[in-house]
Structure 1
Amino acid sequence: MPKGYVVARAKVTDATKWAAYAAKASDAMKIYGGTPIVRGGQMTVAEGEGRARNIVIEFADFASAKSYVGSPEYAEARKLREGAGELDIVVVEGV
C-alpha cells in the first residue's frame, strides 16, 4: 500500500504564534502516525515560486494523511496559526 504525505510550504510572519501552532500540530501528527521527513532547513528555489519553510510528513497511507489534516486535533492547531503567516498544504499518495 502506498504511503501518504502531507506537503506544505509556508511563509511565517509571526514566529511566536507559529511556534504554538507547530507544537500543537506535532502533537496531532503523532496521534495519526505521522513522521516528519522535512521541517524547514536549507532550501533553494530551482523553478517557480518558493517559500522559505517547507514541510513533508509521511504517513502509513493516504487515508491516515487525510485523517490528520481533517482531524479535530489539527483544527485546534490551525486556530493557533491565525495571523501567523501563509500556508499551502496538499495531501498526496506516494508511489
Structure 2
Amino acid sequence: MTAYVIAESPYLDTPEVRAYRELAQASIARYGGRYLARGVLPEALEGDWAGDHRMVVIEFDSLERAKSWYGSPEYAAARATRSDLGGRRMLFLPGASAH
C-alpha cells in the first residue's frame, strides 16, 4: 500500500541545507520515493500556521519502504549535513486502501 512522508520546516537557504537537499533527493530516488510537493508554502484554511514553514510530501510504494529510506545510510549522510533539524516535523502516513 502506498505511503507518504510529510515534512514541515522553516525555510532556510544555506550551504548545508542545499547539500542536504541534494543528498536527500538522491536517497529518496534510490528507495523508490518521489516528490509530490517540495518546499512549498501551504495555504492554511484552518488553524495557525507559521508563515515561513515549507512542506514536502514524498510518496513511497509502502510504509516499509519509506521507513527503510528514513533509516538508510544514504539518508543518514544527508541528515549529517544539517545542524538545524530541531525545528522540523515529519510524519509517515499509510495511504488509503482501495475498498
Q: What interval of TM-score do these two structures reach, taking the shorter chain for normalisation?
A: 0.7 to 0.9
Total equivalences in the alignment: 94
Q: Is the 8 A contact 1:13 1:85 kept in 2?
A: no
Q: 5+ unaligned residues in a row in structure 1: which ranges?
A: none
What is residue 77 of structure 2 aligned with on the other side? Answer: 76
| TM-score computed with the length of structure 2 as normaliser | 0.83
Identical pairs, percent: 35
Alpha-carbon distance between aligned partners in 2 of 1:83 and 1:42, rounded to the nearest angstrom:
19
Change (3 A) 1:42 1:90: closer
Aligned partner of residue 87 in structure 2, secondary structure: strand
Contact 1:15–1:84 (8 Å) recurs in 2: no
Q: Which runs of 5+ in 2 are unaligned?
A: none
The residue type paired with residue 20 of structure 1 is A
Is the Cα contact below 8 Å between 1:14 and 1:83 reproduced in 2? no
Aligned to 2:3: 4
Larger Rg: 2
Structure 1 residues 3 and 76 mapped into 2: Cα distance closer, same or farther (>3 Å)?
Answer: same
Q: Displacement, 1:34?
A: 0.3
Any idea what SS the aligned residue of 1:18 has? helix
Secondary structure of the corresponding residue to residue 81 of structure 1: coil
Corresponding position of 1:64: 65
Asked if the contact 2:41/2:55 (under 8 Å) is kept, the reply is: no
Check conservation: 2:40, 2:56, Cα contact below 8 A. no
Q: Post-superposition shift, 1:43?
A: 2.4
TM-score, normalising length: structure 1? 0.86
Q: Which residue is equivalent to 1:44?
A: 43
Contact 1:11 1:85 in 2 (8 A): no
User: SS of 1:8's equivalent?
Assistant: strand
Secondary structure at 1:40 match in 2: strand
